[in-house]
Amino acid sequence: MCGIIGCVGRGAETLDTLVHGLSKLEYRGYDSAGVAMAGDGIALCKTAGEIDELRGALADRSLAGSVGIGHTRWSTHGPPTDGNAHPHQDCHGDVAVVHNGIIENYQRLRDELVGAGHTFTSDTDTEVVPHLIEDALEAGHDPEAAVREAVSRLEGSYAIAAVVAGTEAVFAARNDSPLVLGIDDGATYLASDVPAFRDFTDRVVYLADGEFARLDGDGWTVTDHSGDRVEKTVDTVDWDPEETGKSGYDHFMLKEIHEQPRALRQCLRGRVDEMAGSVDIDDLGDLSPTGVQFVACGTSYHAAMYGAHLFRDAGIPAQAFLASEYATATPPIGDALVVGVTQSGETADTLSALRAARKRGARTMVVTNTVGSTAARECDHALYIRAGPEIGVAASKTFSSQLAALNLLALGTTSTTDTREIIAALRDLPGDLQRVLDESAAEAVAETYVDSDAYFFIGRGYQYPVALEGALKMKEITYKHAEGFASGELKHGPLALVTEKTPVFAVVTGDGEQARKTVGNVKEVEARDAPVVAVTDGRSDVERYADHVLEIPETHQRTAAVLANAHLQMVSYHVANKLGRNIDKPRNLAKSVTVE
């Protein structure tokens, strides 16, 4: 849930490269940062707070060394303090280590090391690693063997990078936490995510669980747990470094909201044949599921709920499960296809759920944004959403792209009577969404309700997951209380909380039974003096009972969900902006949740 950077081969620019890499990983969420340079000794600097705090501390120091590692920490073991920040060292200061993940047996290891005379200076689980390396060095192991020995004793999830005094190399290992190498002429990089080094190279090597990497002046090698060399493929990242910049927008989130039409075009391109009325997706083969189980977390779970609805409408039994619940109590699978939805492809709970399904013999698929991710490598099938890099912690364009990709998955593996109508709606979706973004009255709505006590969101059918996602966005970036409900559930308890200070956002599309019933729920709200914001295509007449209206073009019910969601994203963004929140890096949250 934090960021790692390592660098070999940049000479005098190594330190600046490390700090630059950390700045590119800020979107992952963090509360402290640090760097270590290795030469004849270890030079280290780390601080609680943001990277600017680290830069300030470095301005007063001179860190010498030819190779280095850096880290942004998101606290798990111990509060965000200078002492708990990474890198961590051994007793003699000859080893420095950074780590993502959780070492589950750290307390036993720590007790053992303390009993042997080691002194600890932090509350973290990570600190056991440099002390284990220290012991292995004192036992006569060379630096690489010492790091291997230390890693062999760890249980849990980890991505580890280490440097040792007197050795011009970075050593790294991974298990259930991502690491990727960047390959350049004369320099090699190591990171938890590609943006850390994308300004320098587009050639990457993804490490798999159980693999060990060494970066030195001769280049890089990857070996397995036995030390045997692993031949790795060098891939090319197909997005430009400028895609991770703000491009004139005040926040990454606002930029990424406005990138949604382009992201949808990328998701749909080459996959839809409107003339034939068909969908063709690579890697699906003859996949024809008789049942589907979706597993996901957070925003991706809302996409999974939407996906399950798509399959049920096609007559295929489908359910969406919270991955954290599924992993610990796997339900009966039968011959169901298990689909993990995860933007990063590294979400720990979702990976655990997919692995539990595979152990029970299920076919697995991942719907993800990240080529080469752990989920993409481990699952039988991968469907890429092609949204491009998303820097803002709160998902925006990846959610809309997930909805589009799940439509493609359902259309490509099932049959419905309105396939051509859906395909036509998907064709028009990027343009319709551009119109929504250009004309949205979301900022005026936000101005009106910025001081509200709480916010409720309601919807039925395909709009129910949108209501949940609207509430989640409001919570994530405004820190205000918000809840989403199936419209019919409002009267079964939540209505007791409705007052004139709790605006209700009602997503009402179409003119069918679901729309008519939701209009009835809106009337219940109106009768209790709560303000109503209707997100609607105008077909249900709900605007008669609303204080504000956010309009969407008339379209299919499936694609209406994507359009409605854009309005709610914009409302949350503008409320957060007016409150002065840290929109791109909400407190306590991380972009990639790699611990369970």
- Mean local confidence (pLDDT), 493-510: 87
- Could you read off the pLDDT of 163-222 as tens digits, one per residue? 999 999 999 999 888 899 999 998 999 998 888 999 999 999 999 889 999 999 999 999
pLDDT at 589 over 80: no
- Could you read off the pLDDT of 282-315 as tens digits, one per residue? 767 778 889 999 999 999 999 999 999 999 999 9
Cα angle 62-124-197, degrees, rounded to a multiple of 5: 50
Copy the structure tokens of residue 463.
């709009």
Quickly state the pLDDT bin for 247 (edges 50, 70, 90): confident
In b/e form, how buried is each residue of 167-185, taking b as 16+ CB within 10 angstroms? Answer: bbbbbbbbbbbbbbbbbee
Which of 68-72, 324-328, 507-511, 522-526 shows the lowest per-residue confidence on average (mean pLDDT)?
A: 522-526
- Mean local confidence (pLDDT), 95-112: 92
pLDDT of residue 2: 78
CATH of the domain at 137: 3.60.20.10
- Could you read off the pLDDT of 410-422 as tens digits, one per residue? 999 988 888 999 9
- Mean local confidence (pLDDT), 498-507: 90
pLDDT at 425 over 90: yes
Strand partners, 184: 187
pTM, rounded to two decimals? 0.76
Q: Tally the domains of the chain.
A: 3
For residues 244 and 371, state if they share a domain: yes
pLDDT at 505 over 70: yes
Spatial distance between the Cα atoms of 520 and 526, rounded to a whole number of angstroms: 10
For residues 193 and 303, state if they share a domain: no
Q: Which of 401, 433, 465 is the last residue of a domain?
A: 433
Respond yes or no: is residue 2 known to be catalytic: yes
Collect contacts of 380-383 with beta carbons under 8 A, ≥24 apart.
Answer: 381/283, 381/284, 381/285, 381/287, 382/283, 383/281, 383/283, 383/284, 383/408, 383/409
For residues 490 and 386, state if they share a domain: no
For residues 371 and 414, state if they share a domain: yes
For residues 249 and 214, state if they share a domain: no
Cα–Cα distances (Å) from 46 to 27, 30, 72, 167, 589, in that order, read 19, 13, 10, 21, 21
For residues 333 and 464, state if they share a domain: no
- Mean local confidence (pLDDT), 139-151: 95
- Could you read off the pLDDT of 530-588 as tens digits, one per residue? 899 999 999 998 989 899 999 999 999 999 999 999 999 999 999 999 999 999 888 87
- Reduced to 3 states (helix: H, G, I; strand: E, B; else coil), residue 518 is helix
pLDDT at 276 over 90: no
pLDDT at 130 over 90: yes
Q: Which of 377, 398, 433 is the last residue of a domain?
A: 433
Contact 300, 342 (CB under 8 A): yes
For residues 122 and 217, state if they share a domain: yes
For residues 397 and 252, state if they share a domain: yes
- Could you read off the pLDDT of 36-63 as tens digits, one per residue? 999 999 999 999 888 889 999 998 888 8
CA atoms within 13 A on the CB side of 581: 26
Quickly state the pLDDT bin for 591 (edges 50, 70, 90): low
Spatial distance between the Cα atoms of 542 and 554, rounded to a whole number of angstroms: 14
For residues 220 and 273, state if they share a domain: no
pLDDT of residue 305: 98
Candidate list 397, 480, 585, 591, residue with the active-site label: 591
Higher pLDDT, 268 or 77: 268
pLDDT at 120 over 70: yes
pLDDT of residue 284: 73
Q: Which of 433, 451, 469 is the last residue of a domain?
A: 433
Q: Which amino acid would we find at residue 525?
A: V
Calculate the average pLDDT of the chain: 90
Q: Is 65 left (phi over 0), alpha (psi -120 to 50) or beta?
A: left
pLDDT at 1 over 60: no
Contact 596, 326 (CB under 8 A): no
Domain limits at 79?
A: 3-237
> What is the DSSP code (8-state) at residue 483?
E
Q: What is the arrangement of strands in the sheet containing 337-342, beginning at the earlier edge strand?
A: 318-322, 292-296, 337-342, 363-368, 381-384
Respond yes or no: is residue 591 known to be catalytic: yes
CATH of the domain at 531: 3.40.50.10490
Query: What number of H helices and E strands is found in the chain?
Result: 17, 26
- Could you read off the pLDDT of 71-88 as tens digits, one per residue? 998 777 778 888 888 899
In the chain, pLDDT over 70 holds for what percent of residues? 97
pLDDT of residue 560: 96
For residues 319 and 264, state if they share a domain: yes
For residues 501 and 580, state if they share a domain: yes
Spatial distance between the Cα atoms of 97 and 592, rounded to a whole number of angstroms: 21
For residues 73 and 217, state if they share a domain: yes
